[in-house]
Chain A
Amino acid sequence: MLYESSPVAIAIFAAFVLSVVGLSFYLGRKGQSAQGYYAAHGEIPWFVNGIAFAGDYLSAASFLGICGMIAFNGYDGFLYSIGFLAGWIVALFVIAEPIKALGKFTFADALDSRFNSRGIKLAVAISTLVVSIFYLIPQMVGAGDLIVPLLGLPHTAGVILVGVAVTMIVVTAGMVSTTWVQFIKGSLLVFFCGILVAMILNRGLSVGTGAAADLTPQVRTVTPDGRVLVDGRPQTEEHDLRPVGTLASLPARYAGKTATGPLRPLEYLSVLEDSTIVTWSSTKHTDQAGTHTTFTPVERKGSDLLKPGGYFRGLTTGKLADRLDFASLMLALFCGTASLPHILIRYYTVKDAAAARKSTVVGIAAIGAFYVLTLYLGLGAMTSGALDPTSTNMAAPLLAKSFSTTLFAIISAIAFTTVLGTVSGLIMAGSGAVAHDLVENVLRIPMTDHEKVRCGKIAAVVLGIVAMALGILFRSFNVSFLVGWAFNIAASANLPALVMLLFWPRTTKQGIVAAVTVGMLSSLAWILLSADTFEKVYGWSREASIVPFSQPGLVTIPLGFFVLVVVSLLTPPPRAVRRHG
């Protein structure tokens, strides 16, 4: 769909972004030492750090991706919410306090705390970079998607804008500004999503009217010379794809009515379950005239949309490989959170283990509240009559637009800040891995405190450029789907080593290096050889893929544990274990 930018939207958006960048410059004065740049001097209050966890974690995947997935496919998007939150249980009960005690600046510090091994630092630094880059892709894609309707600029411009803003945030003040940006973003996101949900409940549900109620199939064609046609005619603002997503009928108890009026939270779900909803399926085919995408309306019962199987179709086919694929994803989401480098380094910004624990509990409260809201946001978008059939990622902002342009501008600006916060955390983690782990500890290049900070800033600029390039390359993907990859790699590469280091004294440095390397390479290889990648990245047939299911975690996470145990048993035990017999 074509979007028209509004001056109000641009003004609100500009105010948000300029405030955030201005704050970074202001805080820049506090982050001049390495301890300040990488760990905010360990002086961040636990409550602020907890909300910053939410800011770090509630990325474009959570806000744009999950809402879009629920809006287009129903309940299955909520499964991501459940898995993402469950991961915090591992972080709180298993990882939070030990990692604070073990590390200094980076995840590699924690894994290497007992060994002083260059091998561990090298392996973990590379895994940190790989995970950060895979996590960066969906954030940048989300940024590009947001800019299109908000400022009327092309997707590429959005990606470049976020890349430049984030690099400035990180380069100016490191972890201090990153933390405060995430605190502001986390607070605003939960608060305004709460307001949006209140408005959804107050509006209630109503049978679709206007352009969205027109259920004629729509065809979008991209011609070989790049022109876009809608139903055979050139796409213009007057002749564009119609917005979709409506209610076909309300439950019998509303007979004779076309709207419910305000509903209570559980009542909203119950009424929706008994209603009939129009969703739109899309099919694509290519011929000499171009690539045609046909959007076709499908009337579905609410009860079918509010149960698993809408997106994970394999759950209803009964095929073992499809079930394993789903189980693998849910395992990766559960194990991945506590393995994400940008989450782990946040534990170094508070003063002690008790503060690490308390900030995680605050994070769980904020993140949990947000994920409950995502269900309402997604379902609200599904029935808003405002969905763009070509973009799942735009569901939440367009839902806001169905209320008012100002709310749309605020929600889009917050979503953009969401991307800024998460990307700045990722670039922080990546720059620490390059400067502190690779340059200082692996290459052993002597650096003064000032040089360490400068090296981190140069690494941040390079990572920012890489992120922009990848955001442009992967523009057509659903962001939640892409984040699933990052979780799989993080869980496979990092979690086995971290957990075994904490709970198995026989763990050796060779075991850690082997587990991180095998976990990372096997999950990466699995993803590159999976049916999803064959179809969505290479454009090849799914059947040509050579792994039985797409999500690697079910195989590669246990593989990481197995490799660590075997290699540790085959190598001399650590000195402390030898001493105690």
Chain B
Amino acid sequence: MAGEESRKSSRDDRGTSRIGLTLFWIYVLLYGGFIGLVLFRPDLLSQRPFGGVNLAIAYGMGLIAGAFLLAIVYMIACRTVERGGPPRG
């Protein structure tokens, strides 16, 4: 019984870890893209693609909101894994 629980816990850990790493790399791409723009195409950040505010502010706010959004996605996905749903590792 304890062995089965331990195996389930280990499987859950692998599942949540895989979800975490996937979301981590998604954010790395978003963050890296932003830093890339600041370093190499700062002119693009002055443009106002969304009307009111420039891309520098929109992207920056987006990164902050995006972090929260991914955190929520992670929490829901982990709960699904811990309740026995996909993905199984």
A residues near B, CB below 8 A?
Answer: 75, 78-79, 81-82, 85-86, 88-90, 92-94, 97-98, 266-267, 269-270, 273, 303, 306-309, 315-316, 323, 326-327, 330, 334, 353-354, 357-358, 360-361, 364-365, 368, 371-372, 375
Contact = CB atoms under 8 A, between A and B. Distances in A.
Interface string B67-89: 11011101100100010000000
- Among B24, B31, B65, B75, find the residue whose CB has the most chain A CB atoms closer than 10 A: B31
Given A269-B57, A372-B61, A308 B38 contact: yes
A21 B62 CA distance: 39
Given A266-B52, A308-B56, A357-B16, 5 more contacts: A82-B60, A89-B27, A306-B56, A361-B75, A368-B65
Nearest to A88: B67
Interface of B: 13, 16-17, 20-21, 23-24, 27, 31, 34-35, 38-39, 42, 45-46, 51-54, 56-57, 60-61, 63-65, 67-68, 70-72, 74-75, 78, 82
A323 B27 CA distance: 22
B46 A307 contact: yes
Contact of A267 (B20, B52, B74, B82): B52
Contact of A75 (B23, B39, B51, B57): B57
B46 A81 contact: no
A372 B60 CA distance: 9
A86 B63 contact: yes
A86 B67 contact: yes
Contacts of A269: 52-53, 57
A92 B71 contact: yes
A364 B46 contact: no
A47 to B, nearest CB: 13
A92 B75 CA distance: 10
Contacts of B52: 266-267, 269-270
A368 B67 CA distance: 8
11 contacts: A81-B60, A85-B67, A266-B52, A267-B52, A270-B53, A327-B39, A353-B13, A354-B82, A361-B74, A365-B71, A375-B57
B23 A307 contact: no
B43 to A, nearest CB: 9
Contact of B24 (A93, A307, A353): A93
A94 B75 contact: no
A136 to B, nearest CB: 27
A457 to B, nearest CB: 36
